[in-house]
Amino acid sequence: MKKIRVGIVGAGFAGRFHTECLRRVYGVDVVVAGVTARRAESREAFGRAHGVPVFESAESMLDHIDVLDVCSPPYAHADAILAAAHAGKGVICEKPLTGYFGPPGDDSFHGNRADKEPMMDAVADVMRRIADAVRQNGVFFGYAENFIYAPSVQKEREIVEKTKAQILRMSGEESHNGSASPVYGIWKFAGGGSLIGKGVHPLGAILYLKRIEGLATLGRPIRPATVSARTHEITRLPGYRDAGFIRTDYRDIEDYGMIHVVFEDGTVGDVVTSELVLGGIYDYVEVFANNHRTRCLISPTELAHTYNPRGAQFKDIYLIEKTSTQEGWSTAAPDENFTMGYQAEIQDFMACAAAGTSPQSGLDLALDTTATTYAAYVSAQRKGAETDVPRL
């Protein structure tokens, strides 16, 4: 059995669930061979908790691994990917692939007020460097977009492929009340707000399904051509009435966004994303095709509903991501690694890295998703004017 040694960059939320999933892979001998994070305390604590060797930096880990798994905040993704690819190592990268994070060292940078056209150009340059490094060195690349691997989205892939469906329109959403990461809400670390932090999930799934349709019917992916988008800062409106339930401490990002994508065949997809949703994480993609219709539930799913008359009773029970109360009816998630696609994602990445094949969610999807998102920021600056998605 082929052995793959994986090194994790980032000892936070994503680093933890990647490690859990890597240890449940079958058919490939996977070893979590190292972890690094910016702060010594957090990488040491992670190493102790998970029994993983600790390294001071991604660079110092490279000689000991085959695949670098980038689970750091978005501002750190590009450097880690480039270092790994140039060293001939495979890469897994959490969403978003990369972004624009302001002039280096400029703490006064406010992304929401900055001109978005130069941002788009800068992001395109970084993406070209990433694509060149990955392609020229012939290394494995997995874009960790879990929506692609959610069982509901994979069922839809099968339907589209086998029935040769034409997808006419899609809609999708990821919304929840903020993020657990301390640097979320700060453009210079996150590269934007709801659009890049959350909207990339349903956007990635929508772009993926249209790629699948194109490959099944035309022998080539159908790609995004233009976007129209809006962004808003609802919790910073002068008239916003804070009832204390919704996170409001964002520095310079939007807390609501919508993207209307027009594909090169003229069909469409619509993404809504926000920080303004109570009741737990709200993730779905719906497909309206010429021969069927599918509602892909990602979270909540309908696997278990539980009623709890007194919140304190469930204090040690995990119900669902980002729920704000354990009281009353809840749509409990018995296994989010399965329903959200995390386990299938890591399984596909390890199987492909071992076999030298391409994963369902790879570099091309990562590039198109990021290009579409930054084109959406340009469009939002123009109050929704139709904007071309750059071709990389």
Ligand X SMILES: NC(=O)c1ccc[n+]([C@@H]2O[C@H](COP(=O)([O-])OP(=O)(O)OC[C@H]3O[C@@H](n4cnc5c(N)ncnc54)[C@H](O)[C@@H]3O)[C@@H](O)[C@H]2O)c1
Binding stretches for ligand X (CB under 6 A): 9-15, 36-39, 42, 71-74, 76, 94-95, 144, 146, 180-183
Q: Name the closest residue to ligand X (Cβ).
A: 12
Cβ atoms of 254 and 376 within 8 Å: the answer is no
**Residue number with CB closer to ligand X (95 or 116):** 95
Q: How far is the CB of 145 from ligand X (least distance, A)?
A: 7
What's the CA gap between 308 and 186, in Å, rounded? 36
**Residue number with CB closer to ligand X (92 or 165):** 92
**Residue number with CB closer to ligand X (131 or 281):** 281
Indicate the DSSP class of residue 225: E
Q: Which element (helix H / strand E) includes 3?
A: strand 3-9
Q: How far is the CB of 321 from ligand X (least distance, A)?
A: 9
Q: How far is the CB of 79 from ligand X (least distance, A)?
A: 8
Q: How far is the CB of 28 from ligand X (least distance, A)?
A: 21
Q: How far is the CB of 39 from ligand X (least distance, A)?
A: 5
Q: How far is the CB of 95 from ligand X (least distance, A)?
A: 5
Cβ atoms of 303 and 152 within 8 Å: the answer is no
**Residue number with CB closer to ligand X (180 or 355):** 180
Q: Using only the alpha carbons of the chain, give its radius of gyration.
A: 20
Q: How far is the CB of 388 from ligand X (least distance, A)?
A: 26
Neighbour count for residue 200 (Cβ, 10 Å): 29
**Residue number with CB closer to ligand X (38 or 164):** 38
**Residue number with CB closer to ligand X (11 or 258):** 11
Cβ atoms of 245 and 324 within 8 Å: the answer is yes
Q: How far is the CB of 163 from ligand X (least distance, A)?
A: 29
Q: How far is the CB of 198 from ligand X (least distance, A)?
A: 9
**Residue number with CB closer to ligand X (35 or 289):** 35
Q: How far apart are the first and last CA of the chain?
A: 37
**Residue number with CB closer to ligand X (41 or 302):** 41
**Residue number with CB closer to ligand X (174 or 368):** 174
